[in-house]
Amino acid sequence: MRLYDTLARELKELRPLDGTTYRFYCCGPTVYGPAHIGNFRTFVLQDVFRRTLETGGMRTFHVRNITDVDDKTIRDSQAAGKSLEDFTAFWTERFHADCDALGLLAPHVEPGAIEHIPQQIAMIETLIRKGHAYASDDGSVYFKISSFPGYGKLSHLDERELDLGKTQNARANADEYEKDSLSDFVLWKARKPEDGVNFWPSPWGEGRPGWHLECSAMIREYLGADFDLHSGGVDLVFPHHENEIAQSQCACGGHFAAHWFHVTHLLVDGGKMSKSVGNLYTLEDLAAKGFTAMEVRYVLIGAHYRKPLNFTLESLAAAREAMAKLAKGARALAAKAPADARFDTVEFGFFQAAWDSLNDDLNTPGCLGGLFTGLREAAKLEGEEAAKALAAFNRILRALGLTLPEEEPEAEVPAEIRALAEERWAARSAKDWAKADNMRQQLVELGWNMKDGKEGYELTPLS
Ligand code: AMP
Ligand code: ZN
């Protein structure tokens, strides 16, 4: 598989450093509310990435953290009147439920920051000892970015005309800061009154770790100084990933990640999602509008990960139709495939182009297109050949993590329409033709067609 590397700025072939298992890290969710579909664009693409490697026969080791201690979780747990642990456990559970609905494979390890405070403190001690960090008067500890000549390579600071030499005395104490500011960033935040009870003892006094540090500490614990790939949404390139590289390379030696995979942001109606505009969608919001998580997944993989994806409700309706079409094609193949077909071929046949797309920089829209073309071509196959084509099709579906609807979705019939239909059916059974005709007209006026069969009736909406 070839994938674009943000650092090298080119497509690179993926080969595990240890020759057997592809070991990678994804920055996980900040659990202070439900994740939105933008977050899920990134998590779903990371999932397709992993599934593609595994479908191709590679073993993987996937680590994704839970950010449960930062400015936002502390602020909102207090507003909710809950302990940080209870508050973040609640939102972690909700995150897991959403992940399940979307068909995301659980990471092999999912460490939380609160549980790894000692590892974070140990890392700060190493950084101070090696001259890369310093304690300030307020009891906070900062990383000195001028001590690390490699700072800025990932986000290409040189091209943004930001000068490492000008960072003397510039410090950022907040977990998140602007793209255009360059400053020493915080590793340990001294306790403040607004932190409430959320502080831990350390050699520099009571406080808590800064956000950037947690990923470096988890990676050191579960992946070591060198590993295959690191990933997140593009907003994390600077400063978060830049800071992770600095902390980890300075504390552990090693190269840190060999490859950087970033997913471009999802936009809604052409702009940034925002609560105030009312277009920040969660899975729950979309379920209330009648859309399933699988339909959301289809939309999220419908665009290439390096291009912005403009999300609309119409695209969800289109996803429903597209999935019904794929399911119909697969059922047609299944009907022709002998139930006892046995073969151990790994050939993709008419679905080779779909598979190649996935392996060429994770081209998910190309892969979906290849599934439709493959089904059209495979429609002429019979017997064992149809069974093989179906197996290839299903293999790619698993790589995409898609589950198709079993049967074409039936239109939901409102209770009052159902009641009228029952009444009409009774009239018809009693040979009261005038009433039956009358009621058929009544149903048509309400937008429903009632088709009579021998055993029963079928209701379809008039469009
Ligand atoms: P957070 O919970 O804010 O830490 O974000 C979790 C993941 O979602 C990170 O990898 C972010 O980069 C990513 N992310 C946030 N907003 C978007 C968006 N609109 N589109 C795609 N990914 C996003
Ligand atoms: Zn991270």
Ligand 2 centroid, distance to 262 Cα (angstroms)? 12
What is residue 62's predicted lDDT score, i.e. its pLDDT? 98
What is residue 462's predicted lDDT score, i.e. its pLDDT? 85
Judge if 190 and 292 occupy the same domain.
no
352 found inside a domain = yes
300-318: average pLDDT: 96
- Per-residue pLDDT tens digits for 135-158: 998 899 999 999 999 999 999 887
Q: Which two tokens stand for residue 160?
A: 């943004």
47 found inside a domain = yes
Ligand 2 centroid, distance to 110 Cα (angstroms)? 13
pLDDT of residue 209 exceeding 80: yes
- Per-residue pLDDT tens digits for 354-393: 999 999 999 999 999 999 999 999 999 999 999 999 999 9
Judge if 440 and 333 occupy the same domain.
no
Q: Positive or negative, the Cα torsion across 62, 66, 67, 69? A: negative
Judge if 75 and 211 occupy the same domain.
yes
Judge if 6 and 73 occupy the same domain.
yes
What is residue 312's predicted lDDT score, i.e. its pLDDT? 93
What is residue 165's predicted lDDT score, i.e. its pLDDT? 65
193 found inside a domain = yes
What is residue 167's predicted lDDT score, i.e. its pLDDT? 65
pLDDT of residue 340 exceeding 90: no
What is residue 410's predicted lDDT score, i.e. its pLDDT? 63
28 found inside a domain = yes
Reduced to 3 states, what is the DSSP secondary structure of residue 45? Answer: helix
* Residue labelled with tokens 């091209």: 159
Contacts of 330 (CB under 8 A, 6+ apart): 375, 390, 393, 394, 404
Ligand 1 atom closest to the CA of 309, numbered from 1 = 20
CB atoms inside a 10 Å sphere around CB 350: 23
What is residue 342's predicted lDDT score, i.e. its pLDDT? 79
| 8 A C-beta contact, residue 120 and residue 126 | no
409 found inside a domain = no
Higher pLDDT, 462 or 251: 251
Instruction: Round to whole Å and give the CA distance between 387 and 383.
Output: 7
**Containing H/E element for 11?**
strand 10-13
| 8 A C-beta contact, residue 263 and residue 232 | yes
- Measured in whole angstroms, the distance separating CA 233 from the mean position of its chain's CA atoms is 9
Ligand 2 centroid, distance to 243 Cα (angstroms)? 9
- Per-residue pLDDT tens digits for 113-136: 999 999 999 999 999 999 999 999
| 8 A C-beta contact, residue 189 and residue 209 | yes
- Per-residue pLDDT tens digits for 248-303: 999 999 999 999 999 999 999 888 887 677 788 999 999 999 999 999 999 999 99
Reduced to 3 states, what is the DSSP secondary structure of residue 358? Answer: helix
440-452: average pLDDT: 92
Judge if 313 and 420 occupy the same domain.
no
Q: Apex CA 273: angle with CA 241 and CA 261, to 5°?
A: 30
Instruction: Round to whole Å and give the CA distance between 429 and 427.
Output: 5
What is residue 367's predicted lDDT score, i.e. its pLDDT? 98
- Per-residue pLDDT tens digits for 11-42: 999 999 999 999 999 999 999 999 999 999 99
Supply the range of the domain harboring residue 144. 2-263
Ligand 1 atom closest to the CA of 30, numbered from 1 = 2
The residue from 241, 263, 285 where one domain ends is 263
| 8 A C-beta contact, residue 295 and residue 338 | no
314 found inside a domain = yes
What is residue 463's predicted lDDT score, i.e. its pLDDT? 72
Judge if 254 and 289 occupy the same domain.
no
CA-wise closest residue to 141 among 129, 132, 133, 131: 133
* Residue labelled with tokens 């081209």: 363
406 found inside a domain = no
Q: Any idea what the CATH number is for the domain that residue 106 is in?
A: 3.40.50.620
Which band of pLDDT confidence, cut at 50, 70 and 90, is reported for residue 181?
low
CA-wise closest residue to 377 among 346, 408, 341, 348: 348
What is residue 178's predicted lDDT score, i.e. its pLDDT? 60
Taking CA atoms only, the protein residue closest to ligand 1 atom 19 is 38
407 found inside a domain = no
Judge if 259 and 281 occupy the same domain.
no
Q: Positive or negative, the Cα torsion across 50, 53, 54, 59? A: negative
Q: What is the mean pLDDT of the chain?
A: 93
Which band of pLDDT confidence, cut at 50, 70 and 90, is reported for residue 161?
low
388-417: average pLDDT: 89
What is residue 409's predicted lDDT score, i.e. its pLDDT? 55
pLDDT of residue 179 exceeding 60: no
Judge if 300 and 196 occupy the same domain.
no
The residue from 400, 432, 451 where one domain ends is 400
pLDDT over 70, % of the chain? 95
Count up the domains in the chain and report the number. 3
Which band of pLDDT confidence, cut at 50, 70 and 90, is reported for residue 456?
confident
Judge if 387 and 438 occupy the same domain.
no
Of 224-233, 374-383, 444-453, the range with the lowest mean pLDDT is 444-453
Judge if 158 and 31 occupy the same domain.
yes
Judge if 259 and 271 occupy the same domain.
no
If one residue of 27, 42, 242 were mutated to test the ligand 1 pocket, choosing by the most ligand atoms within 8 A of its CB, it would be 42
**Containing H/E element for 393?**
helix 383-400
Instruction: Round to whole Å and give the CA distance between 52 and 55.
Output: 5
CA-wise closest residue to 261 among 235, 233, 224, 303: 233
Contacts of 344 (CB under 8 A, 6+ apart): none
pLDDT over 90, % of the chain? 84
| DSSP H helical ranges for 6-101 | 37-55, 71-79, 84-101
**Ligand 1: lining residues by beta carbon, under 6 Å:** 27, 29-30, 38-39, 41-42, 67, 232-233, 235-236, 263, 265-266, 273
User: Buried b / exposed e across 155-177, counting CB within 10 Å, b at 16+?
Assistant: bebeeeebeeeebeeeebbebee
Judge if 364 and 432 occupy the same domain.
no
The residue from 263, 288, 314 where one domain ends is 263
**Containing H/E element for 367?**
helix 364-378
